[in-house]
Structure 1
Amino acid sequence: MKKTISLSIIFSFIALLLVLQLLPREAIAATDPKQRIFDYANLLTVEEKDNLEIVANQYSAESETDIVILTTNDTQGKDIIPYMQDFYDEQGLGYDKKHGNTAILTLDMKNREVYLAGFYLAEEYLSDGRLDQIRNKITPDLSAANYYDAFTTFIETSSKYMRISPWINPELFIFKLWFQILAPIAIAAIIVGTMAFHSSGRVTVNDRTYLNTAQVMNRKDRYIRTTVTKQRKPSDNNKGGGGGFGGGGTSGGGHSHSGSRGSF
């Protein structure tokens, strides 16, 4: 009984430690009042905008990248990409310096277009492909006018991707919360199971102990053959495509960036 209780305590302690190690750490919010939400299209309530400023401030500090939201009803006759580029140049966006690390979501409400871009370090960590992944995540919420949710997802996912090496797929299951919870529990179970095995007596009974005793018969199954049936795979002549187009570029000020463009 005492051994069972002690093993349970050890199991719980190890599981707790591993969970704490693998779960994402809370970011320490920066104290600067820097604006990162530019909602010129008035899509957000005052409360939503204030909350997003806090979220953007927190995750920008965590990834050392300015994460910015820009919405407009009027791109001043420009395409969405040069509009975003001019905004970046004029505002001097950047986390620790002007024209520095920046991830920006631009929403053109007049033409129902969205463009995501990454400058400097974010150009590497938020490549065109990764920005496509983020845009695919937020497009359903944009189409449903759930702008607060879409912007929150952009901020959180951009920060997450910024902390994963560029050559790794950020959507691998090892980065999912369920895996981060189950993995330490499984590891702890293996450790405790190994400890329990070594602390118990060795089992000396095997499959031959009672063979030919009390008229126990030794039987074997003999493999004869395997039959394989082949079937032609139907061709897919109606493959769907995404709504994305465009990529990165360079601003008038000479700052290159990655990009992903789509409609909603």
Structure 2
Amino acid sequence: MKKRVLFLTSILSLVFIFGFLTSAFAEENKQRVYDYANLLSEDEIAELEDLALKHGKEHEMDFIIVTTPDADGRDIQPYIEDFYDDMAFGFDKPHGNTAIVALNMAKRDVMIFGFYKGEKYINDKRADLIRQKITPYLSGGNYYEAFSLFIETGSEYMGYMPFVNPDSFLLKTWFHILLAIGVAGLVVGSMAYNSGGKVTVNERTYTGDFKVLERKDVYLTKSVTKRRKPQNNNRSGGGGGITSGGHSYSGSRGKF
């Protein structure tokens, strides 16, 4: 009886280990870059695959890149909606945590999508920020740099709570350094002031009392120059939505 229990336990352990290794192997070899528009070299695709895998493991997210010559004559948004439904992206499960950047070269459209955990942490506002960061690189034809920045910035934003502005100066290292210097300066200044004793001599000690002889207020002319606010040609539109398969997502789209 004991031998049978031991045998069954060993079999179950092997099945569990085999299943875990199979899942890990599948995750390692999953395709994440779909360059149908042929914008990237083979080396660039390999590097982006590695980068997407690295940051995907860190946050349990699929970072997906899709380029298409003309989206089969469709708009980029429904095209990617169906692409997500068909491909069942997701690090945690099929149709799971995913962030997608997609290009339609025919219309110069770029759109960022966030599904499930991606919808929460890369919401519409954060998707806007990411899109605005990568658009100059896309406009200059630097697609590898743009896609790398998409993955790295998306990964960075995943580290902040959804209600926090990830680009706020309050979160920047330089601000923390200046704040520390300022606090240290106040402490040192306070110590120096308190250690100096009370000042008992002022200007009246030697010159005697004085009276105000004349008071004059001078007003300077204030001029206001109005300037036209420059237009933002990198405006976002669209936002998120729901795929035909019932999966909601955040989003930001624009031109490049």
Give the structure-2-normalised TM-score: 0.75
- Within the candidate set 210, 225, 249, 2:241 is matched to 249
Output the CA distance in 1 between the equivalents of 2:174 and 2:194: 36
Output the CA distance in 2 between the equivalents of 1:258 and 1:141: 22
Output the CA distance in 2 between the equivalents of 1:181 and 1:245: 37
Which residue of structure 2 lines up, in the alignment, with residue 75 of structure 1? 71
Equivalent residues in 2 for 1:35-54, closer than 5 Å: 35-54=31-50
- Paired residue total: 230
**Most deviating of 113-122 and 45-54:** 45-54
Q: CA 1:216–1:191 in 2, change beyond 3 Å: closer, same or farther?
A: closer
Output the CA distance in 2 between the equivalents of 1:153 and 1:220: 68
Are residue 99 (structure 1) and residue 92 (structure 2) matched? no
Are residue 165 (structure 1) and residue 161 (structure 2) matched? yes
Are residue 139 (structure 1) and residue 135 (structure 2) matched? yes
Q: Which runs of 5+ in 2 are unaligned?
A: 1-23
Equivalent residues in 2 for 1:117-196, closer than 5 Å: 117-184=113-180, 189=184, 193=188
Which residue of structure 2 lines up, in the alignment, with residue 258 of structure 1? 250
Task: Tell me the CA shift for residue 167 of structure 1.
Answer: 2.3
Output the CA distance in 1 between the equivalents of 2:211 and 2:197: 24
Task: Tell me the CA shift for residue 105 of structure 1.
Answer: 0.1
Q: CA 1:190–1:83 in 2, change beyond 3 Å: closer, same or farther?
A: same
Output the CA distance in 2 between the equivalents of 1:210 and 1:231: 41
Which residue of structure 1 lines up, in the alignment, with residue 10 of structure 2? none
Task: Tell me the CA shift for residue 91 of structure 1.
Answer: 1.4
Task: Tell me the CA shift for residue 161 of structure 1.
Answer: 1.9
Q: CA 1:46–1:259 in 2, change beyond 3 Å: closer, same or farther?
A: same
- Bigger proportion of residues as helix: 2
Q: CA 1:91–1:186 in 2, change beyond 3 Å: closer, same or farther?
A: farther
Residue 247 of structure 1 aligns with an amino acid whose one-letter code is G
Are residue 225 (structure 1) and residue 217 (structure 2) matched? yes
SS of residue in 2 equivalent to 1:245: coil
Q: CA 1:247–1:209 in 2, change beyond 3 Å: closer, same or farther?
A: same
Output the CA distance in 1 between the equivalents of 2:101 and 2:218: 57
Task: Tell me the CA shift for residue 128 of structure 1.
Answer: 1.9
Give me the CA root mean square deviation. Answer: 3.2
Give the structure-1-normalised TM-score: 0.73
